[in-house]
């Protein structure tokens, strides 16, 4: 057995209800680590990239990394990897909470879900014992009701992942939720779980994990922990103000997308900022397993029509449900976030899809008759209402449940979809932050910020400030960030550690935990291997260079006002450079030399 | 001349008494530089990580401010 891994995966054929345990292949683990990397390798071998993502031929893999559940800080993560129903690309979505570590303590690094059940099922894993139970009584319950019911029946020691009505009803951006408020949020992984009729997985484990070099691992972890605690961002900032501390800096920099990216500044940004959240609705910060950062927010809206309590909102959410829809009411934004958590769906795509529909409404393309109500920018009640309707596929929510690419296409205005590869972009307008433009265009899972977070250098000055308004040097930095993140998503540690540590520290923890002789260079090369493998999957799924692009608005409509006034994204220049530096041809295909060098 | 100062996150504690949630109007002498403003507010230079003047990043702390400009200052922050 390899140190730090549980050493086994659980393969479940939901069609025949057969379950078997298999060993983790040490050679594959060395080359792809675990989590996103190893699951992508397994998915690529098991699933034809052109299958219908919501058919039984698709596979859904929940995968931890070797550091998940160890004493490495922020080591509570797992990935959900599948072919995505929103994009048709590879989908891999990261999640915190308690499920990942518990799965390893129960004896498994991964759960590989194949086929589809004929009736709703619940999977219960307890220290190597696995059972599938009919779950008809759970079907239809929201995530919170499901967790409460299962904790009541099985005991609080069980850790859970589940889907809500959005996943059951195949909303294309449904999430898999852990601990009521932690989501494998993007790319519709919850819809794939719903298509397999698997409502939830409950896991309990009492086993331990051993590392290859305990003193070395302890020293490596303490070194990283000290850097995290000494870092202003990871030591204090995120805990005090959450991720929404970004609202004001992004808004003042003129790249806070407003009203479906029609503007780059929201006049009411401060009302939905991290500072305002901390003053008005924060109950306490919340951390995942082994996390000293605690970016999560437990909040309570204490009065008014949106009175309630729950998890969130974080930065991307206050943007999607706030600025992007023109809503300034923090109570409404927060309530809409709670509804997304309960029904189990991605707040970014949900909010951005309503924003797209609002623009269609204001353009006169959609009528009150189509929608069943008025749908104007700034209508807080409409946003909350549409979240409920989308998650339950009620009325016009059934149309919006397809995501904004399909909505804009359906109504003859595809240019109003603000995303890439059918997935909506998050909370940064690349007209004023060019590196984010090439990152969005090349992200293997469509519009996404956590594939290569160019905001860190271009806006936040981490690790050093780059000029946000020049294309120079952006392809190179973006590639490094994409490779680093792909490797990081494979070890089981949270992306936020990279505000304070990098590849040398991560490789040191990985080496001492697994006994594999990684260094920083090999760590980055594993990330590059994973990135190229994801790209190959997408090419076999039918994607080409024309899919590596941005909405017309960002390429040809200059930013109307603010610090980025007059700018559009010079994508072609950055993309050509990006392909060249990646060792890909002019059409964005990895060359044989590159694949050979990576052992693919 | 008048300058609008906006302080965010943990820097809000350096706002003069009677300020709004994140901003204050401050009267300064002509020729005041960014570093003079930091001194006036008592903000240690090391924690004034990001300085934007009218939305544009300013690395040069000796730059002179203009009447009516807005200076926004953050400590190191992250998120996403």
Fold of B2-74: Ubiquitin-like (UB roll) (3.10.20)
- DSSP letters of A298-348? EEEE-SSTT-EEEE---HHHHHHTTGGGT---HHHHHHHHHHHHHHTB-HH
Same domain for A299 and A275: yes
Read off the CATH number of the domain in which A536 is found: 1.10.599.10
Placement of tokens 């219960």 in the chain: A124
**Residue A195 and residue A369: Cα distance in Å, rounded?**
31
Under DSSP, the state recorded for A263 is B
Same domain for A387 and A411: yes
Minimum distance, in Å, between the CA of residue A270 and any CA atom of chain B? 9
**∠ CA B36-B42-B47, rounded to 5°:** 90
Query: Is any Cβ of chain B less than 8 angstroms from the Cβ of A304?
Result: no
Under DSSP, the state recorded for B58 is -
Helices A520-540, A474-491: axis angle to 10 degrees equals 100
Domain locations in chain B as residue ranges: 2-74
Read off the CATH number of the domain in which A119 is found: 3.60.9.10
Confirm whether A480 is domain-assigned. yes
**∠ CA A307-A308-A314, rounded to 5°:** 110
Q: Compute CA distances A440 → A59, A198, A238, A445, A483, whole Å.
A: 26, 32, 24, 9, 15
Contact A275 B12 (CB under 8 A): yes
Under DSSP, the state recorded for A457 is I
Q: How many CB pairs under 8 A join A and B?
A: 97
Start-to-end CA distance of chain B, whole Å, equals 37
Quick one: tokens of A407? 């909505």
Confirm whether A509 is domain-assigned. no
Length of chain A: 600
Same domain for A450 and A394: no
User: Is the distance from CB of A434 to CB of A468 less than 8 angstroms?
Assistant: yes
Give the strand pairing for A121-126 and A198-204.
Answer: parallel
Same domain for A573 and A473: yes
- DSSP letters of A91-140? EEEEE-SSHHHHHHHTT-SEEEEES--SS-EEEEEETTEEEEEE-TTTTT
Give the strand pairing for B70-74 and B2-7.
Answer: parallel
Minimum distance, in Å, between the CA of residue B49 and any CA atom of chain A? 8
Confirm whether A508 is domain-assigned. no
For B23: left if phi > 0, alpha if psi spans -120 to 50, otherwise beta; the answer is beta
Same domain for A408 and A319: yes
Minimum distance, in Å, between the CA of residue B14 and any CA atom of chain A? 15
Confirm whether A442 is domain-assigned. yes
Query: Is any Cβ of chain A less than 8 angstroms from the Cβ of B78?
Result: yes
Same domain for A350 and A254: yes
Query: Is any Cβ of chain A less than 8 angstroms from the Cβ of B55?
Result: yes
**Residue A49 and residue A204: Cα distance in Å, rounded?**
33
pLDDT tens, residue order, chain A (600 aa): 799 999 999 999 999 999 999 999 999 999 999 999 999 999 999 999 999 999 999 999 999 999 999 999 999 999 999 999 999 999 999 999 999 999 999 999 999 999 999 999 999 999 989 999 999 999 999 999 999 999 999 999 999 999 999 999 999 999 999 999 999 999 999 999 999 999 999 999 999 999 999 999 999 999 999 999 999 899 888 999 999 999 999 999 999 999 999 999 999 999 999 999 999 999 999 999 999 999 999 999 999 999 999 999 999 999 999 999 999 999 999 999 999 999 999 999 999 999 999 999 999 999 999 999 999 999 999 999 999 999 999 999 999 999 999 999 999 999 999 999 999 999 999 999 999 999 999 999 999 999 999 999 999 999 999 999 999 999 999 999 999 999 999 999 999 999 999 999 999 999 999 999 999 999 999 999 999 999 999 999 999 999 999 999 999 999 999 999 999 999 999 999 999 999 999 999 999 999 999 999
Quick one: tokens of A456? 């860190």
List all residues 6 or more positions away from A232 whose beta carbon is below 8 Å from its beta carbon. B47, B49, B75, B76, B77
Same domain for A454 and A419: no
Same domain for A30 and A82: yes
Contact B78 A449 (CB under 8 A): no
User: Does residue B1 register a pLDDT over 90?
Assistant: yes
Confirm whether A224 is domain-assigned. no
**Residue A383 and residue A389: Cα distance in Å, rounded?**
10
Looking at residue B71, what is its pLDDT? 97
**Integer-rounded Cα radius of gyration of chain A:** 22
Give the strand pairing for A60-64 and A110-114.
Answer: antiparallel
**∠ CA A550-A556-A561, rounded to 5°:** 105
Query: Is any Cβ of chain A less than 8 angstroms from the Cβ of B50?
Result: yes
Per DSSP, chain B holds a count of helices (H) and strands (E) of 1, 5
Query: Which A residues in the span 452-481 are in contact with B, Cβ-Cβ below 8 Å?
Result: 453, 455-456, 460-462, 465, 468
Same domain for A195 and A295: no
Report helix, strand or coil for A64.
strand
Q: Identify the CA nearest to A271 among candidates A314, A309, A318.
A: A318
Confirm whether A57 is domain-assigned. yes
Chain A partners within 8 Å of B76 (Cβ): 231-233, 237, 460-462
Helices A35-46, A474-491: axis angle to 10 degrees equals 90
Confirm whether A233 is domain-assigned. no
Same domain for A281 and A174: no
**Integer-rounded Cα radius of gyration of chain B:** 12
Minimum distance, in Å, between the CA of residue B21 and any CA atom of chain A? 8
Alpha carbon dihedral A248, A251, A255, A258, in 10-degree steps, equals: 120
Minimum distance, in Å, between the CA of residue B77 and any CA atom of chain A? 5
Structural domain harbouring A565: 430-499+519-598
User: Is the distance from CB of A558 to CB of A566 less than 8 angstroms?
Assistant: yes
Query: Is any Cβ of chain A less than 8 angstroms from the Cβ of B49?
Result: yes
Q: Identify the CA nearest to A443 among candidates A186, A251, A261, A189.
A: A186
Q: Compute CA distances A113 → A17, A197, A200, A224, A569, whole Å.
A: 10, 11, 12, 34, 40
Report helix, strand or coil for A479.
helix
**Residue A413 and residue A134: Cα distance in Å, rounded?**
44
SS (H, E, C) A377-425: CCCHHHHHHHHHHHHCCCCCHHHHCCCHHHHHHHCCCHHHCCEECCEEC
Looking at residue A183, what is its pLDDT? 98
Query: Is any Cβ of chain B less than 8 angstroms from the Cβ of A449?
Result: yes
Looking at residue A67, what is its pLDDT? 98
Same domain for A180 and A259: no
Report helix, strand or coil for A297.
strand
- DSSP letters of B17-28? TT--SSEEEEE-
Query: Is any Cβ of chain A less than 8 angstroms from the Cβ of B54?
Result: yes
Last residue of a domain, one of A147, A178, A204: A204
Same domain for A570 and A459: yes
User: Does residue B18 register a pLDDT over 90?
Assistant: no
Query: Is any Cβ of chain A less than 8 angstroms from the Cβ of B79?
Result: yes
Longest CA span, chain A: 68
Contact A237 B54 (CB under 8 A): no
User: Is the distance from CB of A116 to CB of A12 less than 8 angstroms?
Assistant: no
Looking at residue A82, what is its pLDDT? 98
Average pLDDT, chain B: 95
Looking at residue A142, what is its pLDDT? 98
**Residue A318 and residue A323: Cα distance in Å, rounded?**
7
Looking at residue A236, what is its pLDDT? 86
**For B73, nearest residue in chain A (alpha carbons):** A249
Minimum distance, in Å, between the CA of residue A562 and any CA atom of chain B? 8
Q: Compute CA distances A8 → A14, A23, A78, A512, A567, whole Å.
A: 19, 4, 15, 20, 52
Read off the CATH number of the domain in which A314 is found: 1.10.569.10
User: Does residue B21 register a pLDDT over 90?
Assistant: no
**Per DSSP, which regions of chain B are E strands?**
2-7, 23-27, 50-53, 56-57, 70-74
**Residue A277 and residue B2: Cα distance in Å, rounded?**
30
Chain B partners within 8 Å of A502 (Cβ): none
Last residue of a domain, one of A424, A444, A469: A424
Per-residue b or e along B45-66, where b marks 16 or more CB atoms closer than 10 Å to that residue's CB: eebbbbbbbebebeeeeeeebe
User: Is the distance from CB of A405 to CB of A418 less than 8 angstroms?
Assistant: no
- Structure confidence by residue, pLDDT tens digits, B26-39: 999 999 999 999 99
- What is the total count of domains within chain A? 3
């Amino acid at each position: 057995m390899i140190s730090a891994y549980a050493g086994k995966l659980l393969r479940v054929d939901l069609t025949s209800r057969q379950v078997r345990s298999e060993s983790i292949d040490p050679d594959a683990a060395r080359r792809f680590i675990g989590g996103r990397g190893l699951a992508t390798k397994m998915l690529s071998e098991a699933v034809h990239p052109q299958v219908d993502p919501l058919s039984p031929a698709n596979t859904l893999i929940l995968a931890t990394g070797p550091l998940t559940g160890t004493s490495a800080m922020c080591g509570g993560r797992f990935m959900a990897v599948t072919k995505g129903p929103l994009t048709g690309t590879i989908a891999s979505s990261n999640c915190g909470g308690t499920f990942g570590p518990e799965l390893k303590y129960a004896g498994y690094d991964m759960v590989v879900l194949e086929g589809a059940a004929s009736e709703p099922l619940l999977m219960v894993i307890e220290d190597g014992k696995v059972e599938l139970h009919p779950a008809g009584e759970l079907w239809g319950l929201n995530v919170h009701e499901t967790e409460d019911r299962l904790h009541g029946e099985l005991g609080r020691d069980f850790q859970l992942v589940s889907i809500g009505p959005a996943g059951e009803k195949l909303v294309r951006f449904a999430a898999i939720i852990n601990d009521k408020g932690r989501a494998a949020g993007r790319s519709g992984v919850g819809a794939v779980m719903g298509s397999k009729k698997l409502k939830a997985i409950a896991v309990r484990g009492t086993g331990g994990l051993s590392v290859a070099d305990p003193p070395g691992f302890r020293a490596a972890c303490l070194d990283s922990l000290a850097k995290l605690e000494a870092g202003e961002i990871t030591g204090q900032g995120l805990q005090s103000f959450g991720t929404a501390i970004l609202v004001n800096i992004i808004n003042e920099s003129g790249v806070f997308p407003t009203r479906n990216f029609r503007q780059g500044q929201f006049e009411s940004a401060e009302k939905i900022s991290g500072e305002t959240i901390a003053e008005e609705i924060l109950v306490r910060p919340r951390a995942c397993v082994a996390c000293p950062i605690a970016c999560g927010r437990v909040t309570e809206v204490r009065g008014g029509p949106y009175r309630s309590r729950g998890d969130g909102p974080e930065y991307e959410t206050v943007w999607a449900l706030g600025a992007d829809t023109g809503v300034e009411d923090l109570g409404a934004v927060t309530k809409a976030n709670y509804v997304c958590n309960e029904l189990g769906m991605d707040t970014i795509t949900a909010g951005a899809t309503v924003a797209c529909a609002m623009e269609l409404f204001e353009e006169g393309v959609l009528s009150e008759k189509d929608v069943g109500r008025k749908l104007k920018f700034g209508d807080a009640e409409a946003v909350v209402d549409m979240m409920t309707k989308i998650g339950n596929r009620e009325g016009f929510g059934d149309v919006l449940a397809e995501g904004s690419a399909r909505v804009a296409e359906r109504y003859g205005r595809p240019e109003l979809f603000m995303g890439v590869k059918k997935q909506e972009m998050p909370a940064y307008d690349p007209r004023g932050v060019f590196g984010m433009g090439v990152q969005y265009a090349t992200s293997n899972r469509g519009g996404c910020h956590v594939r290569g977070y160019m905001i860190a250098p271009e806006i936040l000055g981490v690790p050093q400030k780059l000029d946000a308004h020049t294309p120079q040097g952006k392809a190179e930095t973006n590639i490094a960030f994409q490779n680093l993140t792909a490797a990081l998503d494979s070890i089981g540690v949270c992306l936020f550690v990279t505000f304070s540590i990098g590849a040398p520290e991560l490789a040191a923890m990985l080496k001492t935990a697994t006994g594999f002789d990684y260094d920083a260079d090999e760590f980055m090369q594993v990330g590059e291997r994973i990135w190229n493998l994801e790209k190959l999957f997408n090419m076999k799924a039918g994607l080409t260079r024309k899919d590596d692009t941005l909405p017309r608005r960002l390429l040809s409509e200059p930013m109307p006002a603010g610090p980025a006034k007059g700018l559009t994204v010079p994508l072609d220049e950055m993309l050509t450079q990006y392909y060249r530096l990646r060792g890909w041809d002019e059409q964005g295909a990895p060359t044989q030399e590159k694949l050979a060098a990576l052992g693919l | 001349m008048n300058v609008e100062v906006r302080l965010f996150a943990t820097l809000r504690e350096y706002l003069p008494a009677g300020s709004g949630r994140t901003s204050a109007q401050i009267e300064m002498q002509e020729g005041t530089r960014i570093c003079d403003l930091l001194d006036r507010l008592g903000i240690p230079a090391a924690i004034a990580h990001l300085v934007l003047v009218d939305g544009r990043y300013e690395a040069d702390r000796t730059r002179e401010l203009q009447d009516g400009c807005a200076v926004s200052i953050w400590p190191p922050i992250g998120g996403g």
